[in-house]
Structure 1
Amino acid sequence: GELFSRFDREPAASASIAQVHRAWLPDGSPVAVKIRRPGIEEIIADDIEIMYHLSSLLENNIAEIEYLNPVAILTEFERVIKLETNFTVEKTNLIRFANAFKDDPIFFLPGVYPEYCTVRVLTMEYIPGIKLSDLYNEETEGYDRALIVERIADILFRQVFEFGFFHADPHPGNLFVLPDNRICFLDFGMIGYLTENLRQTMGDAIVSVVNRNYTALAHALLKITGSPLPENFEDFERRLAEMVEQFYFLSLKEINIGDVFIGAMEILVSFNLSVPASMYLLGKTVTTIEGIASRLHPKFEIAEFAKPYAKRFIEESLSPKRVIGELTQTLTDLTILLRDLPSDLKEISQKIKKGRLHIEVDEKSLQPIQDTLFRVTTDITLSIVLTAGIIGSSLIVHSGIPPLFAGIPILGLLGYVVSGVIGIGLIILLIRDRFR
């Protein structure tokens, strides 16, 4: 039989990846049917292939861009875009959020109809509301804009601090407002995840900022990036201190979280430290919410609003129960390490005996040595060529081999000229290396 008793051919909404149609189930229930655009996978694949080519060119030819790791960023983008075009993943994400926020009084999540869903089709409960962007029009009445902004921020911070996963694309087109000012998020293809360790380290970073302990802040950020101590650690710590001190004595209403995030990212990138994709997504999400607030509720102070959520999270992370849990986990890890140590040492010993122990060396760490050897080899080679040229030219001049110019062999004169050019080049190289 027919899947739907009625199906509107004209899309109710369209985007680059999909379009949404309104339909009715056989029992009369109104639904929204999200359908992936035909051929979109091929278009995305072609675009990504071009982007990979350009990213590789940039990474291999511009040193400043290499540390941004554009190929890795594009790889993450490719992974995310594939998830966004797989509506089975979006269905799972939506169900996960619905379970986390079950019976929430302000956060409405549409029901899903799994029997009407595939990789290319997602069928959801129809939302009887308006797009958040419609509230940008001052003529739209009947909605409490200040309350709506506060509820959106509340939902976001609960996602981050309580559950460790968040909607990573909350632009105004993906947010609906119901007549009773409840908030509905749509398009769950892009989700950010914060592991327990990452959230704990974020808490450590917040405490470090409050205490103005920039050494601890530097260590927390290094842990977030998964990087070892840089050689210029003191410079890294100083840059962080300079950034935080710019904001420290400002009131929270004067602080733009987006600016703080961008400043921190610039410092990390300048020290060649990679940033987890989840942190990029979190920064983008908070900045998006700030932009919404600036349009609908200009007096809203997002930093002040976030304060109790962060405080509660830190208090919970320092609670005796959490500390005991972390100590238990540490002891468990230590027990496993000690248990496996004898067999690991035996394996290493056997590899040494068989000559099969391989030690990997970071090629970048050898680059300065390679550069020095190249310069020294070049200087020695030019010196040998210069000496040979002078000696050879002198022998030709003394031999009187024709043709002659003013009684001097022309080959000898040319040899002296070439030797002179090489000599000047060698002097320039030596001076350049001296002041490098």
Structure 2
Amino acid sequence: MTATPVHLWRMLVWGRALARHGALRPFESPKAPLAVRLIARTARIGTGAPATPDFAAGLGAVGPAAIKLGQALATRPDLIGPDAARDLVRLQDSLPPLPFAVMEAVLNAASPGGDWRTQFQSIDPIAIGAASMAQVHKGVTTDGRAVAIKMLRPGIEADLTRAIDTYEWAASHIETLGGEFARLRPRAVIATFKGWTEAELDLRREAASASELAEAVQGEPDFIVPGIDWPRSSRRVLVIDWVDGIKMNDTAALAALDFDRRKLAMVLVNGFLAQAIAQGFFHADMHQGNLFVIPPADGDDARLAVIDFGIMGRINRRARMYLAEILHGLVTGNYKRVAEIHFEAGYVPPHHNVAAFATALRAVGEPIRGKRAKDVNITQLLDGLFAITRSFDMQVQPHLLLLQKTMVMVEGVALTLDPQVNMWEVAEPYVRDWVRDEMGPEAIIADRIVENARALA
């Protein structure tokens, strides 16, 4: 068990790094507990902290674990505030690559006979991507297939274990402060983060996530998930099919490509809906760097491919049903039904009033109804929704926040393809049909059988 002075020392070192980028200034707010304010001010002494916080740069300076935590916190504007969350969205998990000789040792250790040449004809020694936990090289297998080879960085497991140990310690102390701190459940936040990182430290689990996602979108033929090379993959090495396409963040190359941009935007949105609503398992990091446009060929339209399956979200069927009804209600303006669903799901404590909650939802929903997605101020929308969660004592649902963050991300990417696309209009018929199918007699009977079985167990 790690001693308290060790935790405090780590936090002081991290705090100094954050303070140099002004990232501790929000903790000096009069609303923060006195102990937190004192720690933030002490860490800032002599750092020359800028007046405007740069949260992304601050966490990037702390190290790999902080980068991953920052990505997780970007999904929690209710916890860190909308300004910090927006800043963290730009936090790119990118580090200088390690020399291939270092990574070669990782690959050799995972190869038969201790030599990667038993599995690959060649590997480009120049990394095509390097992040806090792993880096990627292009290779060619012994049977002539082009692949992407992802390898964990040496020592990353120990680094993350030490950091998460202190995160857990800090979260438990913060939660004991009660009030708003308890409502935001920091221990649950760190537990979710720990689960993500543990999954990312076993690349076989990432491979399994890619395989499951491929099944989830098999009804969307233009939404491509690369195949997994299972025999060549292991806990520390992941080998997937090479995606021969143009990255979505390569705006110049995309501008020169002739393809149906609106259709591809629809492929993206429908692919996401198939994951999140129909299957309850979704890629939770669909930013432009993880999406590729596969150019049209042989008369076919352009297709979309997704990579990097380290951050995935999962929502059970009952939660998906509630979510689908909520989305449908917001799109159609049925705020009373949306309010009732929140109470039925237990999201709002029963001592509150359904009608009052419906009115609060209307105040947020009406200003955006009928608007095009590009005309909706997402910041104002989220601020309004999080104000409702505070006013009605709603406990935060981390899995729904992850979905919400992904929805905003998908919407943003779709708009870069087609500024006229309206995600809500695309979603409405999909959600309506899914709710109709799931609420049919057979589905209701199946639900009752399951509930009765649980009651008898």
Same-fold call, TM cutoff 0.5 = yes
Corresponding position of 1:326: 447
Q: Is the 8 A contact 1:258 1:287 kept in 2?
A: no
Residue ranges of structure 1 left out of the alignment (5+ in a row): 341-436
Output aligned runs, 1:152-301, within 5 Å: 152-180=268-296, 181-206=302-327, 208-209=329-330, 214-224=335-345, 228-231=349-352, 235-248=356-369, 250-251=370-371, 253=373, 254-255=375-376, 260=381, 263-301=384-422
- Distance change (3 Å), C-alpha of 1:144 and 1:15: farther
Greater radius of gyration (CA): 1
Q: Is the 8 A contact 2:269 2:414 kept in 1?
A: no
How many pairs were matched up?
335
Residue ranges of structure 2 left out of the alignment (5+ in a row): 1-116, 297-301
TM-score (norm 2): 0.66
Cα separation, 2, equivalents of 1:286 and 1:132: 17
Output aligned runs, 1:71-90, within 5 Å: 71-90=187-206
- Distance change (3 Å), C-alpha of 1:168 and 1:161: same
TM-score (norm 1): 0.69
Q: Is the 8 A contact 2:259 2:295 kept in 1?
A: yes
Q: Deviations over 1:201-226 (max 9, x none)?
A: 22333455467554543342244455
Structure 1, 160-169 or 316-325: larger mean CA deviation:
316-325
- Distance change (3 Å), C-alpha of 1:206 and 1:147: closer
Cα separation, 1, equivalents of 2:231 and 2:254: 41
Structure 1, 162-171 or 45-54: larger mean CA deviation:
45-54
Match of 1:150, as an amino acid?
A: M
Corresponding position of 1:119: 235
Cα separation, 1, equivalents of 2:350 and 2:422: 35
Cα separation, 1, equivalents of 2:183 and 2:175: 8
Output aligned runs, 1:143-158, within 5 Å: 143-158=259-274
Q: Is the 8 A contact 2:175 2:181 kept in 1?
A: yes
Root-mean-square deviation (Å): 2.8
Corresponding position of 1:101: 217
Cα separation, 1, equivalents of 2:217 and 2:169: 42
1:46 maps to 2:167:
no
Q: Is the 8 A contact 1:85 1:189 kept in 2?
A: no
Q: Deviations over 1:60-115 (max 9, x none)?
A: 44733332112211111111122122211111111112233348430122111111
1:331 Cα offset (Å): 5.0
- Distance change (3 Å), C-alpha of 1:330 and 1:46: closer
Corresponding position of 1:355: none
Q: Is the 8 A contact 1:112 1:123 kept in 2?
A: yes
Identity of aligned residues (%): 28
1:317 Cα offset (Å): 2.5
SS of 2:249's equivalent in the other structure is helix
SS of 1:169's equivalent in the other structure is coil
Quick check: which one's helix share is greater?
1
- Distance change (3 Å), C-alpha of 1:5 and 1:194: same
- Distance change (3 Å), C-alpha of 1:72 and 1:225: farther
Q: Deviations over 1:91-150 (max 9, x none)?
A: 111111223334843012211111111111000111111211113666543444333222
1:274 Cα offset (Å): 1.8
Cα separation, 2, equivalents of 1:205 and 1:147: 27
Q: Deviations over 1:365-392 (max 9, x none)?
A: xxxxxxxxxxxxxxxxxxxxxxxxxxxx
Q: Is the 8 A contact 1:225 1:275 kept in 2?
A: no
Cα separation, 2, equivalents of 1:118 and 1:262: 43
Q: Deviations over 1:44-71 (max 9, x none)?
A: 2233234334434543447333321122
Q: Deviations over 1:391-410 (max 9, x none)?
A: xxxxxxxxxxxxxxxxxxxx
